[in-house]
Structure 1
Amino acid sequence: MTGLLDAIGGKLAERWVALLALPGTLFLGTAWAAHVLGARRPFDAARLLREVGRPARWADAHGAAGLVLVLVGLLLLAVVPGLVVQLLARGVQLLWLGPWPAGAGEPLVRRRRERRVRADARVAEHIRRHETDGDPAELAAAHAAEARRDRISPVPPARPTRMGDRVHALEHRVGEYYAVPFAVLWPRLWLAASEADRAEIRAAAASFDAAARLSAWGLLYVLLAAGTFWWPALVAGAVVMAAAWWTGRERLFVLADLADALVDLRMRSLARAAGLPVPPGPVAPATWRELDLLLRRMR
C-alpha cells in the first residue's frame, strides 16, 4: 500500500508540474516582464536585468531560507494561473463545440447552412450532368464537390462551428441509423467496449482537452496584453490560440471518428448484453428499435 501511495503521489506531482507549475511560472515571468517593460520599451533587456536583480539580492541577503521562500512562493503563485486556465478551457470547449448560449451562434449557423445548400446544389448539378451525358469527369467532379460540402458539415449544420457540427453529425447518424439516441447509447456502449477501445478513446479525448487548455493559455496571454499594453504578449497569445484551434479541430475529428467506429463495431455486443438475439449478417431495423425501447426502460 505504501508503494502504491508513493507511485500515485509521484504521478500527481508530475501532472501538477506539467499542467500547472511550469506553464504558470512562465506566465508569471511574462506578466512580470510586461509590467516592468510596458508598451513603450517592450524589449528593453537592460531594464529587465536591473529589475530581476532586486529579488535575487533579497534572496542572497537572507541566505538559503530566503531562496527557499522565494521558490516556494513562486510555485504557489504559479498554480493560480493554472487553475484559471482549467476553468477557461471549459469555456473554450463550449466555444468550439456549441451550442452557444442565448442563440448567439444562430447567424453563423444560418450562414453555414446557406453555404452547404449551395455546395449540395453543385453536387446535384454534377450528378445530373453525369446521368445525362455519361461523362466520367462529371462523376469525379461530383465526388470532389461532395468532399467540399462535407468539409462544411457532414449533415445540415446545427452548430456555429465545424467542430460542433462534427459532433452533431455523429449524434445524428447514430440516431438515424440505429434508432437509438447517442446520449442513451454511449454510457452502455462504453461499458461494453474492450479496454483497448477505451484506451484509444481516452487518448483522443485527452489530446482534445490538451488543445483546449493550450487555447486557454493563449487567451490568458491575450488578457495580459490587454491589461498591460505589452503587445508581444498579444502576438504570442494569438499565435498559441490559432495553433490550439487547428490542433483541437484535428483531434476532435479523430475522436468523433473513433466514437463512430466504436458504435458500429460494438452495437451487436451491446444488444446481446441487453438480452436481444442478434443473428449473423445484417441486423433488422426492428432489433435496434427494440434495443432503444429496452435501454429507455433501463433509464
Structure 2
Amino acid sequence: MSGLLDAIGGKLAERWVALLALPGILFLGTAWAAHVLGAGRPFDAARLLREVERLAGWTDGHGAAGVLLVLVALLLLAVVPGLVVQLLAHGVRLLWLGPWPGGTGERLVRRRRVRRARADERVAEHIRRYEAGGDPAELAAAHAAEARRDGISLVPPARPTRMGDRIHALEHRVGEYYGVPFVTLWPRLWLAAPEPDRAEIRAAAASFDAAARLSAWGQLYVLLAAATWWWPALIAGAVVMAAAWRTGRERLFVLADLADALVDLRMRSVARAAGLPVPPGPVAPVTWEELDLLLRRRR
C-alpha cells in the first residue's frame, strides 16, 4: 500500500509541476517583467537587469533562508494562475463546443445553416449534370463540393462552431443509424471497449483538454497586457490562443472520429452484454430497436 501511495504521489507531483508550476512560474516572470517595464520601454533589458541585481542583493543579504523563502513563495504563487487557467479552460470548452446562451449563438447557427444549404444545393446541381450527361468532370466537381459542404458541417448545423457541430454530427449519426441516443449508449460502449481502444480515446481527450488549457493561458496573457499595458503580452496571448484553437479543432475531430469508430466496432458487444442475440453478418434494425427499449427500461 505504501508503494502504491508513493507512486500516486509521484504522479500527482509530476502533473502539478507540468500543469501548474512550470507554466505558472513562466507567467509570474512575464508579469514581473511587464510590471517593471510597462508600456513606455517594453524591451528595456538594462532596467530588467538592474531589478534582477537588486533582488539578488536582497537574497544575498538574507543568506540561504532568503533564497529558500523566494523559492517557496514563487512555487506557491505559481499555483494561483494555474488554478485560474483551470477555470478559464472550462469556459473555453463551452465556447468551442456550445451551445451558446443568448441570441448570438442562434444567429451564428442560422448563418451556418444557410451556408451549408447553399453548399448542398451546389452538390445536387453537379450530381444532376453528371446524371444527365455522364461527364466525369461533373462527378469530380460534385465530390469537391461535398468536401466543401462537409467542411462547414457533416449534418445541418446545430451549434455555432465547427467543433460543436462535429460532436452534434456524432450524436446525430448514432441516433439516426442505430436508433439509440448516444448519451445513453456511450457509458455501455466504454465499459465494453478493450483497454487499447479506451487508451486511444483517453489520449485524444487529453490532447483536446490540453489545447483548451493552452487557450486559457493565452487569455491570461491578454488580461496581463490589459492590466499592465505591456503590449508584447497581448501579442503572445493572441498567438497562443490562435494556435490553441487550431490544435483543439484538429484534436477534437480526431476524438470524434475515434468515438464514431468505437460505436461501429463495439455495438455488437453492447447488445450481447445486454442479453440480445446478435448473429454474424448484417444486424437487423429491430435488434437496435430492442436494445434501445432495453436501455430505456433500465434508466
The alpha-carbon deviation at position 227 of structure 1 amounts to 0.9
The alpha-carbon deviation at position 104 of structure 1 amounts to 2.9
The alpha-carbon deviation at position 52 of structure 1 amounts to 1.9
User: Does 53-62 or 274-283 show the bigger shift?
Assistant: 53-62
The answer to whether residue 8 in structure 2 is matched with residue 8 in structure 1 is: yes
**Secondary structure of the structure 1 residue equivalent to 2:102:** helix
Alignment correspondent of 1:270: 270
Alignment correspondent of 1:59: 59
The alpha-carbon deviation at position 102 of structure 1 amounts to 2.6
Normalised by the size of structure 1, how large is the TM-score? 0.99
Aligned residues: 299
Return the letter of the residue paired with 1:47.
Answer: R
Residues 181-209 of structure 1: CA distance to partner in whole angstroms, max 9, x if unpaired?
00000011111111111100000000000
Structure 1 segment 112-127 matched on structure 2, within 5 A: 112-127=112-127
Task: Say what the alpha-carbon RMSD is for the aligned residues.
Answer: 0.8
Structure 1 segment 126-141 matched on structure 2, within 5 A: 126-141=126-141
The answer to whether residue 295 in structure 2 is matched with residue 295 in structure 1 is: yes
User: Does 3-12 or 218-227 show the bigger shift?
Assistant: 3-12
Alignment correspondent of 1:196: 196
The answer to whether residue 94 in structure 2 is matched with residue 102 in structure 1 is: no
Unaligned runs of 5+ in 2: none
Q: Distance in 2 between matches of 1:51 and 1:239?
A: 28
Alignment correspondent of 1:260: 260
Residues 246-299 of structure 1: CA distance to partner in whole angstroms, max 9, x if unpaired?
000000000000000000000001000000011111111111011001011111
**Secondary structure of the structure 2 residue equivalent to 1:101:** coil
The alpha-carbon deviation at position 66 of structure 1 amounts to 0.8
Alignment correspondent of 1:237: 237
Superposition misfits of 4+ residues, deviation over 4 angstroms: none
Unaligned runs of 5+ in 1: none
The alpha-carbon deviation at position 55 of structure 1 amounts to 2.2
Q: Distance in 2 between matches of 1:214 and 1:195?
A: 28
Return the letter of the residue paired with 2:86.
Answer: Q
Q: Distance in 1 between matches of 2:103 and 2:203?
A: 32
Residues 189-245 of structure 1: CA distance to partner in whole angstroms, max 9, x if unpaired?
111111111100000000000000000000100111111111000000000000000
Alignment correspondent of 2:78: 78
Return the letter of the residue paired with 2:179.
Answer: A
Alignment correspondent of 2:35: 35
Return the letter of the residue paired with 1:170.
Answer: L
**Secondary structure of the structure 2 residue equivalent to 1:158:** coil
Q: Distance in 2 between matches of 1:120 and 1:2?
A: 62
User: Does 145-154 or 99-108 show the bigger shift?
Assistant: 99-108
Sequence identity (%): 87
Return the letter of the residue paired with 1:88.
Answer: L
Residues 26-56 of structure 1: CA distance to partner in whole angstroms, max 9, x if unpaired?
0001011111111111001111111122222
Q: Distance in 2 between matches of 1:58 and 1:100?
A: 51
Q: Distance in 1 between matches of 2:36 and 2:69?
A: 22
